Structure 1
Amino acid sequence: MNGLYKIIILWVFCCASVSADKSIELKDTYSVQPVPSWVTQQGIPKGVNQDGNYGVTYYLLERQLDFGNDSEDYFRLVYSIDQKEALADNSQVIIDYNPSFQRLEVHHINVIRNGKVVNRLAIEDITVAQSEDTEESLMLTGKATASTQIKGLQVNDVVDFAYTVKGQNPIFEGKTFFRQNLGWSSPIKKLFLKAVSDNPLQIKATAYDDKLNTEKVAGRYQYKLSIDNVTTKKSLDGIPNRVHYFPYIQGSEFESWDEVVEWALPHYQDKFELNNSLLRLANGWKEQFPGDLESQITAAIQYVQDDIRYFGIELGVNSHKPHHPNTVFDRKYGDCKDKTVMLVALLRQLGVTAYPALVSTDLNSGFETMLPSPGVFDHVIVGIEYGEQFYFVDPTKTAQRGSLKSISLLPFEKVLVIDSQLEQGIVSVPQHDYEHKIHIEELFKLSSMSKPASYSISSTYYGIEADRVRSWYKVNSKKVIQDNYFNFYKKVYPTLKIDGEIDINDDEDLNIVTIKESYIVPSLWSFNSNHYYSDFSSYEMNNHIYYPERPERDVGLAIPFPKKITHNIRVVLPETYSLDSKKTNKEINHESFSFERNVAVKQNSMNLSFDYKAKEKEVNVDVLDNYYESLIEVQNHLNYRLIFPASKSQQKQQRKKRLQDLIKG
C-alpha cells in the first residue's frame, strides 16, 4: 500500500500485542461487518483534479474514535490511481491490529470506475497472519496483519475502503489518549476526525484549531474536526527531533505528567526481590571494587548492557509492563523496560539511588510540549544519582566503557523520571564535560623518490566514538576489519599494499580505542611537465561532516553532535630534497561549528592538520544560508596538493617512461 497509508496505520496501531497465556485462533478475530451506527459517514469530495504525489490522489481520510466500554477506532481512506506505475504499491489493503484485546471489522473495499461502485471485499480473500519481524526489530509483539489484494484495479479507478478495530490495551486501565497527524507531504482533499468519550479530554491541535467543534451529546463528549484541502509540507532532511514538523491533533484523558508517573509507578517500582544469582552478582562487584562505588556502578551497567541481550517479548500488558528481573536473568534477554528494571534493581542493591525514565526517541525534548500521556514515549532508560549529580544511561546499548561521564551522554534532552518522590517528573539530561572525539595521525615516508612510500595510520577514538568502533570490531574478525580498512584506502591509492597486521588497542578503563595500520604505496606521486605532485585530504572529516540538501525550509537543521575530529598528515621526503618553506592557515568560524586547516612545509617535510568541532546540535533556520556557504568553504579546504620540482634527470626519466607507455598502449 502507498506510503501515506503505511504511515497512517502506524499511528493508529502503535501498541500491537498478543497475550502470551491465551490461545487465539486468528480466524475468530476478524469479520466483515457494516459501518458502525455511531460513525458520522462523510461524502467523497466531488470534481477532484488528479494532482497528488507518487501517482495517487487522496480524496478523503477519516478517523473516528469512540472511547466507550469497547473502544472503537474507525478508519476510512479514499484515493485514486492516477498512473500505472502506482498500481503495484496501492492495490493492497494492509491492517495491523492486536488479536488478544482487539477485533477487526472490515466494512468495505469499493472500486469506483466511471461512477459505478463495485464492492471487492470478500472474507475469503482476507489473509491474517502473525506479522513478526524479529530479525530486524528484535521484538516479539504478537501483532497480526490482515491483508487483501484489490482485484482488477486499473488506472483512474477510485479506491474506497473502511474498517474498525475494537478494543484497548488493558495496560492503560481504560484511560484514553490519541494522536492524529493533520498534514503530510501529499495533499488530501478532505480530512475528518471525530472522537467521542464518556469523560472530557484535553485537546490540542497545532493547526486548524478554529475548525475544532466541541459539544456534549447524550451525556458524552464529542470532538470533531473537518478540513478541506489539507495543506502539504515538503519532506525535509535533518529535522530536529524536538520539532513537530507536521501539524497534529492530540487528545488525552491524562491531566498532568504526574498522572502519567502514577500510572507507570506500579509497573516500574514494584518491590522486586532479587534471586540469589542476582544478589551474588551485586555482592561480587562490591568485593571486586571495595570502596569504589563508581566502578561498582559501571560494572552493573556493563553487565546489563552486554550480558543481557536485547530482545523484547511485548505480549499483552508487557507492551508497557516490564518483566521481573529474575525472569530477565533466567532468559538472558529483555527489551528496554526489562533491562531498565534489572539495572535499577541491581544499582539499588549496591546502595545507589536509581530511577526508570521514559523518553521519546522521535520527539526528544519535544514531548514536553504535548499533552501528557504514555503514548508519547517509546523507550525507557535509567537515571542514576551519584556524587550529587544525575547521570542517565541506556541499558540497551552495548560495548560502552569508561567512566559515568563518558557513557552517560545521550541524545535525549529531557526525560520523565518514574519516581513518586520527585515533585516534577520531567528532568533535563545533563551533558557532562567529556571530550568525545576522533584523532587521526598519518605518516608518509620516502627513502627515495624511485621507491614506494611507507604509509602508517593511527586512528584514536574517545568516548562515544570509541563505543561506536568497539561495537563494530567486537562482532567482526580481525581479517574482516583489515579488509574493510584496506579497501577504503585502496580507493584513494589504487596500488596500495598491506605492510603488516592491523593492531587494535582498547583501553576500556579510559574508553579509548586505537587502531594502527601499515601500508606500502608504490605510486604516491604523479608527474606533470616538470614537477611531482600528490593530493592529501582529510577523508575522515569528509565522512563525518553532514552535508545536507538545500531546499527552502522553515525549520532548523539537526547536525551530528557531539562531533570533534582532528586529522594530522605528515609527509617526509628524502633528505636530499629541499622544499620551499611555506606556512598557511585557514579558519572558518560559524556559530554551529569551527574549522581550521594548517599547512607547514619546511626543508624535506610537510605537516598538514585539520580540526573540526560541532558547537551545537542544530543550526537555526535564520543562519542556514551562511551555514551552507561555510560548509562549501570547508569542503574546498579538505584537500591539499603538495608540489615540488623534478630534477632534469627525473624529467628525462619521466618523458622516457611516458614514451614507453605510449608504445605499449
Structure 2
Amino acid sequence: MKLGKIFSLTLFFLFTVVITYAVSPTLTKTAVPNWVRYSQHQPKTPNLEDISDGYYFESIEYQVDLATQTRFSRNVKVLTENAGAENAGQIHISFEPKYQTLILHELYLIRDGKRLDRLNLGKFELMAYETELSRSIYNGTYSAYLLLEDLRKDDKIVLSYSVKGFNPVFGGKFFDSYTLQGFEPMGLLHISYIVPKGRKLHFKTFMGAVAPTKQDLGNATAYYWDIAGTDKTEYEPNVPLWYATRQRIECSEFEKWSDVGKWASDVNPIPVLAKSGKLRQFAEHLWQKAKGDSMEYVKEIADFVQNEIRYMGIEVGEYSHRANNPEKVFAQRYGDCKDKSVLLAAMLQHRGIKSQLVLVNSFEEYNLDESLPSPAAFNHMVAYFSVGGRGQFIDPTITNQGGPIRDRHFPFYGKVLWAKPGAEMYDTEKIVAGNTRVEEQFNLQKDGAAILDVLTIYTGSNADDIRSYFKQTAKNQIEKSYLEYYQRLYKQATKRSALTYEDDIANNVFRVKESYSIKKLSELDLTTNRPAVSVYAANLSSSLPDVMETRMTPIALYYPLALEHDVYIINPDDVTIPAIRENNFTTRESYYFGKSITTNKDTIKISFRLGFHDTFVKDEGIKDYLSDFSDKDAFFSTAVYLDNDGFVTGSNTQNQVNWWSVLGFISLLALFTWATFRYYHRQNASSFISLYDEAQYDTIGGWLVLLAIALFLSPIRIFFGVMMPLSFSEQLWATLSYNVGISPFLYGMFLIFEFAANTMIIFLSAYCFYLLIKRRDIFPQTLFALLMLQLIVVILDIIVAWVIFKNQTEMYSEPSEIVRAIAFAVIWSLYLFNSTRVKGTFVVQREMKAAHQLALVQSPPLIPSATSIQHETDNDSERKQ
C-alpha cells in the first residue's frame, strides 16, 4: 500500500512536470524580419530639461505585418544620468503564450561608439505577469524580464523583438491604436502597418495627427508615420478619460458598428438551457419562487447572478472576449462580466423574457462613437431585458443592490452597442439614483464639552455601495476608521457607544448611527481671540477635484453625486439662539452647491449641499469652477462663536432692549422734525407737480382716503414690525459678533443704514399724513419724495446685502420686496401727477402767507410796489385831464 502511494505520487509529479513544461512559454532568437521598414530620418535630440528618470527615448518603432500576424518593436533609450539605469535597465516584454510567441532580435549597448551585445536568452526570466489581477481577472499574460548589468551615463540601449500571433476570437479581423505623443519628447517615432492586397484597413487620426503615408509594396501596402522629434504634451490631473489630450491614430478592418455588433453576437450567443442540466432546474425553482411573476423572477435571477456568482475571470486566449458556458459558470460560481451577463440573459430567456447582451465602455462616457468601429471600443458587458414593453439595463457585476428591481441603479455608460447583427449605438441616461445625507448633532454642555450624535442615511446607489463596504469590511475596522475621522476634526473625541447600522434592503436605505463624547469642543479662534466651534463637511469638499488656476482642459467629476450634510448645534438648557438666516445656493451646468444657516429656538442649523449634473466640467465652465471653489474648504465649513458660559454667542440677549438704538431713534426723529419745520415746511409748492390756483375740493375724498389710511398705518407697521422686534433688540446688534465670514465693519454699516432709513421713512410717512390732512400744497411733492426714497432704500438694501453677504440676500430682503416697492411707487406717482382731485385738493399754501397779506392791508409798504406806482400814475393823469 505504501508502494502504491509512492507510485501514485510519482505519476502525479511527472504529470505535473509534463503539463507545466507543455504550457510554459519559450523564447526564440532570430534576425530582424525582412519586411521591417527602416526610418528615413535621423532622431532629434530633445530638450533635456523636459526629461525625467534619467533617460529618454531616442527612437521608438512599432510595425505590424497583418499577413504574418506579427508586431515588431524597436526602441533606443539614452541614459542622461547614471540614475537612469534604474528604470531604463529593466526590460519587460509582455505576451500571451496561449496564442502568441515572443521572438527576440537585438539587445545591445552603444558605448563610446562601440556595440556591446547583451542578448542572452538564458538570462531572461519568464514569469506570469497578470496585468488585471486588481480586477480579479486572470488573462494568462507572461513577461520576459531582464535586468541589464553595467549601465553607465550616455549609454544607448537598443532592443528589438517581435510578438507573433493575433487573438483568434476576432475572426481574423485586425484593429489597433497608437499614441503619437507622450508626456516627454521623443527623438524619433516610426509606425507602420503592412496590409496585404485585398484587405482594407481603415485609419482615423485625432487631435491634429497627420494622415499616414502610403507605400505600394507590390502584394501589400504600407501605411506609415515617420516623425523626427515629437512634442511633449502637458499632463493635467482629473481629466476625463474620454478626453483626448494627445495625438493618436486608430485603424480597424471593421467597417461599421453593426459589424462589431454581429461579431459580438457570433462570439457570445445566448444559449438555451440544457433540458437535463442543473441550471435549468434552478431556473425553474426561481420561477416557482416568484409565483410566475415575471418581474419577481427577474429580481430573483438578478440577485443570484450579482451576489452568488462572484466576479472573477480567467480570460486566457479567446476567452478574453468569449463567455464560458452558463452551465459551467453556474457550477463554478464565478465569472467575469460576459460570463455573468450571458448567464443572466440565458436564465431570463428560459422563461420567455426578451433579453439582450450589450457592449459598454466603463471609462468613456462621451465621444465613443467618434472612434473607429472595433471591439477595442468596449471593455465591459451588461444585459438588457424587457417585460411588458418596458426595457431596462442590468449590470450583473454590481453586488448587493437593493430596492425594487425597476429602481436599481444602472451606471451612466454613455453610448452602448447591442450585441446583435445590424446593431447601432444607443444612448443611456444620466440618472442620479443615490443620495448620502449626514446629520451631525452637537449637544453643547456648560463645561465646554459636547455630545455628538451622527446619523448617515444612504439611499439608492449610495446604499448599494455602503452595503458592499459593510459586507466586505470588519465592523471593528469600520468603527475605528469612523472614530479616527472625527478625532482628526475634534482631538478630544471618544466613542460614546458602539456604531450601529440598519439595512432596509427592500427600500434600499442604509442607516449608520454613531455617538461620541467630546471633552472640549470649542477652540480659540486666533483671528478674534474668542472660543468657536468649527464644523466641516469634509465629505463634500473632498469630492471636488483640485485644479490649478491655469486649467485649460475639462475637469472630471465623480458622477453620480448628491451629498447633503446638516449640522445641528444645540444650546444647553433650551436657551434660544438669536434669529439668523443665511442662504447661498448656486447651480451650474455640471454641478450645484450651497450653504445655509438657520436658527430654531435653541438650535442653529448649518446645511451644506453638493451634487453633480454631469461627469465633467466643460471648458467654458472652468472659470466658474475656479471661482466657486477657490477656497472650497472655507465654503464647506463654518465657525459658531461661543460665550464663556458655553452658550452660542447672543443667546443671552433674548428679549433685551438695546437702549442705544432707542436713543438713536428718538434723536433721529427729533433731528428730522426740527430740520423739516425749520427749512422745508414753510416753503411754497414747486412747479414739479402742477396744482390748481383755487381749491376744487374742500375735503379729503376718493382714492385719497386709501392713501391716508396707508400713510397712517405705514409708520405704525414699520415701528412695531421692524424697529421694535429688530432694531431695538439687543439680539440684532449681537449678530455683529457671530456672523462668521462677514466683515464686521461692513455689516455694522449695513445695520446702521437700515436703521436710519427706516427711521426716516417712519418720519416722512407721518409727516405726509399730516400734510394730507392739512391739504398743504407741498404734500404731492413730499409724498413723491417718500415714494422714491422707499424704492431707493429697497434697491440699495438688496445691492448692499448682495455685496456683503455674497448672494445671501434672502437673509434680509426677498425679490418680492423690490417688485412691491416699484409697483407702489409707480401707481401712486401716476396718481399724483394725473389726478384732478390731487390738483384741486392740495392748494393750501404756507400759513405765513395769510398773515403777510393781512399785514399789507393794515400798513402800506415803505417801498412802493410796481402796482401802487402804476396806480398813482393813472390818478395823476386823470387829474391833469
Question: Normalization by structure 1: what TM-score?
Answer: 0.88
How far has the Cα of 1:622 moved from its partner?
Answer: 2.1
Matched, 1:269 2:269: yes
The Cα offsets for residues 561-598 of structure 1, whole Å up to 9 and x where unpaired, read as: 12111111111112274543222222233332222211
Q: Of Structure 1 and Structure 2, which has the larger fraction of its residues in helix? A: 2
The Cα offsets for residues 350-378 of structure 1, whole Å up to 9 and x where unpaired, read as: 33211111122343343321111122222
CA distance in 1, matches of 2:549, 2:249: 27
CA distance in 2, matches of 1:298, 1:557: 37
Show the counterpart of 1:159.
157
Show the counterpart of 1:13.
none
Letter in 2 for 1:541: L
Show the counterpart of 1:520.
517
CA contact (8 A) 1:415 1:429 kept: yes
Show the counterpart of 2:359.
358
Cα distance, 1:495–1:160 mapped onto 2, change above 3 Å = same
CA distance in 1, matches of 2:84, 2:31: 29
Q: Of Structure 1 and Structure 2, which has the larger fraction of its residues in strand? A: 1
CA contact (8 A) 1:239 1:245 kept: no
CA contact (8 A) 1:45 1:59 kept: no
Cα distance, 1:243–1:290 mapped onto 2, change above 3 Å = same
Letter in 1 for 2:338: K
Show the counterpart of 1:400.
401
CA distance in 2, matches of 1:208, 1:602: 60
How far has the Cα of 1:627 moved from its partner?
Answer: 0.8
The Cα offsets for residues 444-497 of structure 1, whole Å up to 9 and x where unpaired, read as: 123x41273221110001111111111110012322221121111111122212
The Cα offsets for residues 114-144 of structure 1, whole Å up to 9 and x where unpaired, read as: 2222221112112212223775342222221
CA distance in 1, matches of 2:211, 2:540: 50
Q: Could you tell me which runs of 5 or more consecutive residues in structure 2 were left unpaired when the two chains were aligned.
A: 1-17, 650-881
How far has the Cα of 1:388 moved from its partner?
Answer: 3.4
CA contact (8 A) 2:599 2:605 kept: yes
Cα distance, 1:49–1:175 mapped onto 2, change above 3 Å = closer
Q: Counterparts in 2 of 1:9-24, with a 5 A limit?
A: none
The Cα offsets for residues 407-446 of structure 1, whole Å up to 9 and x where unpaired, read as: 34213111111123xx4332111345x6411111111123
Letter in 2 for 1:539: A
CA distance in 2, matches of 1:650, 1:372: 64
1:172 to 170, 173, 177: 170
Letter in 1 for 2:501: I
CA distance in 2, matches of 1:637, 1:175: 55
Matched, 1:415 2:439: no
How far has the Cα of 1:514 moved from its partner?
Answer: 0.6
CA distance in 2, matches of 1:403, 1:159: 61
Matched, 1:511 2:512: no
CA distance in 2, matches of 1:131, 1:202: 32
Sequence identity (%) = 23
Question: Matched residue of 2:463: which SS?
Answer: helix
The Cα offsets for residues 524-576 of structure 1, whole Å up to 9 and x where unpaired, read as: 12367995421122223223x22322264543112111211111111111227
How far has the Cα of 1:291 moved from its partner?
Answer: 5.4
Show the counterpart of 2:206.
206
Cα distance, 1:102–1:319 mapped onto 2, change above 3 Å = same
Letter in 2 for 1:322: A
Cα distance, 1:536–1:197 mapped onto 2, change above 3 Å = same
Q: Counterparts in 2 of 1:298-447, with a 5 A limit?
A: 298-420=299-421, 423-432=422-431, 435-446=433-444
Cα distance, 1:232–1:283 mapped onto 2, change above 3 Å = same
Letter in 1 for 2:339: D
**Greater gyration radius:** 2
CA contact (8 A) 1:304 1:339 kept: yes
Show the counterpart of 1:546.
544
Show the counterpart of 2:733.
none
Q: Give the paired residue count.
A: 625
Show the counterpart of 1:226.
226
2:104 to 80, 103, 106: 106
CA contact (8 A) 1:111 1:117 kept: yes
CA distance in 1, matches of 2:193, 2:340: 36
Q: Counterparts in 2 of 1:474-489, with a 5 A limit?
A: 474-489=471-486
Question: Matched residue of 1:627: which SS?
Answer: helix
Show the counterpart of 2:56.
57
CA contact (8 A) 1:272 1:324 kept: no
Cα distance, 1:83–1:390 mapped onto 2, change above 3 Å = farther
Cα distance, 1:155–1:135 mapped onto 2, change above 3 Å = same
Matched, 1:74 2:72: yes
Deviates more, 1:592-601 or 1:562-571: 592-601
CA distance in 1, matches of 2:623, 2:442: 38
Letter in 1 for 2:229: N
Question: Matched residue of 2:633: which SS?
Answer: helix
Question: Matched residue of 1:142: which SS?
Answer: coil
CA distance in 1, matches of 2:483, 2:306: 31
How far has the Cα of 1:270 moved from its partner?
Answer: 4.6
Letter in 1 for 2:90: Q
Deviates more, 1:321-330 or 1:434-443: 434-443
Show the counterpart of 2:250.
250
Q: Could you tell me which runs of 5 or more consecutive residues in structure 1 were left unpaired when the two chains were aligned.
A: 1-20, 652-665
Cα distance, 1:150–1:360 mapped onto 2, change above 3 Å = same
Letter in 1 for 2:107: I
Q: Counterparts in 2 of 1:271-310, with a 5 A limit?
A: 271-274=271-274, 276-290=277-291, 292-310=293-311
Question: Normalization by structure 2: what TM-score?
Answer: 0.67
Letter in 2 for 1:493: Y
Show the counterpart of 1:197.
195
Letter in 2 for 1:268: N
Matched, 1:456 2:453: yes
Matched, 1:29 2:26: yes
Deviates more, 1:211-220 or 1:230-239: 211-220
1:563 to 561, 564, 569: 561
Higher RCO (C-alpha under 8 Å, 6+ residues apart): 1
Question: Matched residue of 1:399: which SS?
Answer: coil
**RMSD between aligned alpha carbons?**
2.6
CA contact (8 A) 1:211 1:226 kept: no
Question: Matched residue of 2:149: which SS?
Answer: coil
Show the counterpart of 1:592.
590
Question: Matched residue of 1:645: which SS?
Answer: coil
CA distance in 1, matches of 2:75, 2:470: 47
CA distance in 2, matches of 1:482, 1:387: 45
Show the counterpart of 2:238.
238
Question: Matched residue of 1:465: which SS?
Answer: helix
CA contact (8 A) 1:591 1:615 kept: yes
CA distance in 1, matches of 2:460, 2:136: 26
CA distance in 2, matches of 1:347, 1:238: 40
Show the counterpart of 2:468.
471
Question: Matched residue of 2:434: which SS?
Answer: coil
Show the counterpart of 1:42.
39
Cα distance, 1:277–1:43 mapped onto 2, change above 3 Å = same
CA contact (8 A) 1:31 1:106 kept: yes
Question: Matched residue of 1:364: which SS?
Answer: coil
Cα distance, 1:437–1:413 mapped onto 2, change above 3 Å = same
The Cα offsets for residues 49-69 of structure 1, whole Å up to 9 and x where unpaired, read as: 55242122221111111011x
CA distance in 2, matches of 1:309, 1:648: 54
Cα distance, 1:584–1:46 mapped onto 2, change above 3 Å = closer
CA contact (8 A) 1:533 1:644 kept: yes
CA contact (8 A) 2:239 2:555 kept: yes
Cα distance, 1:183–1:209 mapped onto 2, change above 3 Å = closer
Cα distance, 1:493–1:650 mapped onto 2, change above 3 Å = closer
Show the counterpart of 1:4.
none
